[in-house]
Amino acid sequence: MTGAESKPSGSDREEHEDEREDGTVAVEERPEPSAVLGRLPTDAGLRRQLAAAARSRGRTASVAAEIAEIEAELAAIEIEPVDLTAARRRVAETTGETERLKERVAALRGDARARRAVDAEADETLGDLEEAAAELSAAQTEAIAAEQALERARAEAARNRDERRRRLRLRDRLRNRRRTARRELAEAIYPAFRRALAVVPGGDPSAAGAEPSGYDGDPIAASLAAVRLAALDGVVELRGDAARAVAASERSARSLLRARDVRLRGASGGR
């Protein structure tokens, strides 16, 4: 198909969400109608253009409330980073220190027993043994804390995995609902779009088909018709083929597109 609906584009790709540093999700907001239709030619497909025109007229889709709920749920998901490597390293360090101190305590005890066996002075050895035993007790406490921290980190990592899976499911639902919304809005104003095609340069109502996916006419004419249907507050900027098509029309650009301000770039003509 060669119509506007078939044009691949960056702005016609599905919305995406990015994870922030704090683990929350930045859900890409739906573009304002002027962002879709305010500059022609546009990369947006016909269904997206018509949906934008419908939204500019205050229309809402039946799934609007559900979309808002999903967006809120996605934005509320928080996934704190978990450093399992650091937790494991700490367990290894505290375990190694505990084992070292156990060996030192055992050696000092053996030395103390040997001194007593020959009636040698053991006070200094006993002092070292008491100090080493205290260090061992503290190290064992720290090792237990490190093990507990690792278990908590593992549990948090498991929760994060569950939350990421839930987030993926929500993203899929959001994409589906947004597609549904665009389809509803585009179909709702399609009869008006077909009539607008009879007015704009290059437009052919017979090329409209029964629905947006059936359009097989000039993509520039389709975009001009979408703008004519829309209620845009800002400037509509036309370039290239769009500017030339409107400049060649006998009607003024503002009258033709029913826009407050139309600017033509790269073609002779007024507003």
Assess if residue 69 is contained within a domain. Answer: no
Q: Is residue 67 part of a domain?
A: no
Same domain, 128 and 159: yes
Ramachandran sector of residue 208 (left: φ over 0; alpha: ψ -120 to 50; beta: rest)? alpha
Global pTM value: 0.71
| Torsion, Cα of 242, 247, 250, 255 (10° steps) | 70
151 and 213 housed in the same domain: no
DSSP 8-state code for residue 29: P
Question: Residues 165, 197: contact at Cβ < 8 Å?
Answer: no
Place of tokens 């030192």: 104
Residues 209 and 257 in one domain: yes
pLDDT digits (tens, 9 = 90+) for 41-57: 999 999 999 999 999 99
Query: What pLDDT sits at residue 11?
Result: 34
Final residue belonging to a domain, choices 170, 200, 217: 170
Looking at the structure, tell me whether residues 163 and 194 fall in a common domain.
Answer: no
Q: Is residue 238 part of a domain?
A: yes
Number of domains in the chain: 2
Query: What CA–CA distances, in Å, run from 237 to 178, 196, 242, 253?
Result: 27, 19, 9, 11
Residue 264's SS3 state is strand
* Domain endpoint, select from 112, 136, 170: 170
Is a pLDDT exceeding 80 seen at residue 269?
no
Please indicate, yes or no, if residue 237 is contained in any of the structural domains.
yes
Instruction: Tell me: do 90 and 165 sit in the same domain.
Output: yes
What is the side-by-side strand order in the sheet with 236-239? 39-40, 236-239, 262-265
Residue 264's beta-bridge partner residues? Answer: 238
* Claim to verify: residue 110 and residue 37 sit in the same structural domain: no
Return all residues near 121 (Cβ < 8 A) that are at least 6 apart.
115
Residue 78 placed within a domain: no
- Section 18-37 average pLDDT: 68
Residues 200 and 158 in one domain: no
pLDDT score at 267: 66
92 and 142 co-located in one domain: yes
Do the Cβ atoms of 236 and 262 come closer than 8 Å?
Answer: yes
Last residue within a domain, chosen from 142, 170, 198? 170
- 152 contacts 90 by C-beta, under 8 angstroms: no
Residues 182-207 have a mean pLDDT of 96
Q: What are the tens digits of pLDDT across the range 207-228?
A: 999 999 999 999 999 999 999 9
Does some domain include residue 270? no
Please check whether residue 52 is in contact with residue 251, taking contact to mean a CB–CB distance below 8 angstroms: no
Considering the chain, what is the average pLDDT of its residues?
87
Q: Rounded to whole angstroms, how far apart are CA atoms 39 and 16? A: 22
Q: Which two tokens stand for residue 108?
A: 């000092």
Q: Domain check: are 96 and 143 in the same one?
A: yes
User: Could you tell me the residue range of the domain that residue 153 belongs to?
Assistant: 84-170
Q: Are residues 96 and 146 in the same domain?
A: yes
Q: What percent of the chain has pLDDT over 90?
A: 73
- 200 and 166: one domain? no
Res 9: pLDDT: 33
Secondary element (H or E) of residue 66? helix 64-76
Q: Is residue 23 part of a domain?
A: yes
